Amino acid sequence: MALDNNNHPCFNAEARHSYGRIHLAVAPRCNVQCNFCDRKFDCANESRPGVTTSVLTPEQALAHLDDINKKLDNLAVVGIAGPGDPFANPNETMETLERVHAGYPDKLLCVSTNGLSLADYIPRLARLNVSHVTVTVNAVRPETGADIYEWVHYGGKTYFGTEGAQLLLERQTEAIKLLKQYELTVKINTVVIPRVNEYHIPEVARYVSALGADIQNCIPLIPVAGTPFAGLQEPSAANMQSLRAETSLYVKQMEHCGRCRADAVGLIGRSNPFSRKEAEKKPVRLVAVATSDGVSVDRHLGMAYNLWIYSWEDGKVKSVERRSIIACQRSSDRWNEIAAVISDCDLLLVNKVGQPPLQALKNKGIRTEAVSGSVSEILTALFTGEDIPAQNLRLAGHCDGSVNQSATCHSCASEVE
């Protein structure tokens, strides 16, 4: 495959349909603690940045690349995106890039970083023909950054509050300017955090555009259980569309991000076809869906009174029946009783689900996915052996307590009046 900068699926929306990428998870440590991040190093069940099934040594990373390259004929990009920060692990990162550059001169090389320690390595990156660099910039005001970052560690010292945020911004600014001096393509990732930086994003777009950034990727927050921002809402698709329209006045916007894992492989929006989780995938026959109207997956499991059952017949999604779970919802053992009601189903789709029901259903052999969007589109993908589209996936195991009436909150045993 010829080296072509236009083949990078993250920087070129059209390329994502034809060209794949692989992320080599060689960077476990991080030098910035974000209030939305929880890195996981042995996880096959979450699809988000900061997560990997395993951390690789540079030697293991090259062996993994050798294996995947034999299986995929459209692999165009090799990147390092964590699960921590590449330049908090500079030895592992640079050795891996050197090995890949030597063995695969036809592959595009890229890294994704918070930018704190990036500037020190840009000349070496340029010599290795690293062509694309992503820098995550979530704030360009120190007071806003202070709400996003718990701490910033640099030069053997840990900084907090506005001091840490100011240092990070200064280092990011220096790095982006230097990247453009070396003529590298720069993407800016910006996590959109409701009530924290959502109204500040256009200012970020103006700032990075002035530095020469080529494209910005506004990423909706994934509320991760156990983090300070766990209780926030994920921005809606409508809010993200409006925000991208505004920021596009300053810098080109990426709108097809799959919020990839640190060990992603293949096309954007598809999970790793060679992961342990994918190897265990079984054909889907019946699916239970928490929906109020059969059109969209719009019900919390704790607020559903019926589950719609679907099958696949004659190349189409077919509604088989509706099963009442009203009696189950009133039971002290309701999760196990719901599992019994749908024991013949391979999968349960809900809009939101807390950790207790998620685990109880898993113990009964029922896979549960939190999703939003069209019932028909999601089920068509599942019944035809595809993955649930990345844009439809929500965080399973997270409950924001937004139940009302007399329903019970999923993540606790208390009644919500």
On whether the 282-392 domain is CATH 3.30.1360.20, my answer is no
Mean pLDDT of 207-214: 96
Query: Using CB atoms within 10 A of its CB, is residue 276 exposed (0-12), middle (13-18) or buried (19+)?
Result: exposed
Q: pLDDT at position 151, please? A: 93
Backbone phi, then psi, for 247, in 5-degree steps? -70, -25
Percentage, residues of the chain above pLDDT 70: 81
Question: Tens digit of pLDDT for each residue in 81-90?
Answer: 878 899 999 9
C-alpha atoms less than 13 angstroms from C-alpha of 51 in its C-beta half-sphere: 17
CA distances from 272 to 2, 281, 339, 349 (A): 24, 12, 28, 21
Please give the CATH architecture assigned to the domain spanning 5-266. Alpha-Beta Barrel (3.20)
Alpha-carbon dihedral sign for residues 285, 288, 293, 298: negative
Higher pLDDT, 391 or 25: 25
Q: What is the pTM of this model?
A: 0.65
Q: pLDDT at position 11, please? A: 62
Which pLDDT band holds residue 402 (cuts at 50, 70, 90)?
A: very low
Tokens of 196: 């924290």
Which pLDDT band holds residue 234 (cuts at 50, 70, 90)?
A: confident
pLDDT tops 80 at residue 235: yes
pLDDT tops 60 at residue 275: no
Mean pLDDT of 112-123: 95
Question: Tens digit of pLDDT for each residue in 18-60?
Answer: 677 888 888 888 999 998 887 654 444 445 566 566 778 899 8
- Say if CB 97 and CB 130 are below 8 A apart: yes
Higher pLDDT, 141 or 41: 141
Domain boundaries, the chain: 5-266, 282-392
Neighbours of 72 (CB within 10 A): 18
Question: Tens digit of pLDDT for each residue in 3-14?
Answer: 555 666 666 666
Cα separation, 150 vs 160, in Å, equals 7
pLDDT tops 90 at residue 149: yes
Residue 255 CA, distance from chain mean position: 14
Q: pLDDT at position 200, please? A: 94
pLDDT tops 60 at residue 141: yes
Cα separation, 408 vs 416, in Å, equals 6
**Which candidate, 75, 80, 176, places its Cα nearest to that of 130?**
80
Cα separation, 409 vs 2, in Å, equals 54
Tokens of 374: 């069209």
pLDDT tops 60 at residue 401: no
Name the one residue in this structure whose structure tokens are 């017949």: 313
Cα separation, 363 vs 355, in Å, equals 12
Cα separation, 409 vs 357, in Å, equals 11
Largest CA distance in the chain: 66
- Say if CB 10 and CB 132 are below 8 A apart: yes
Q: pLDDT at position 154, please? A: 95
Backbone phi, then psi, for 193, in 5-degree steps? -115, 110
Which pLDDT band holds residue 413 (cuts at 50, 70, 90)?
A: very low
Higher pLDDT, 400 or 302: 302
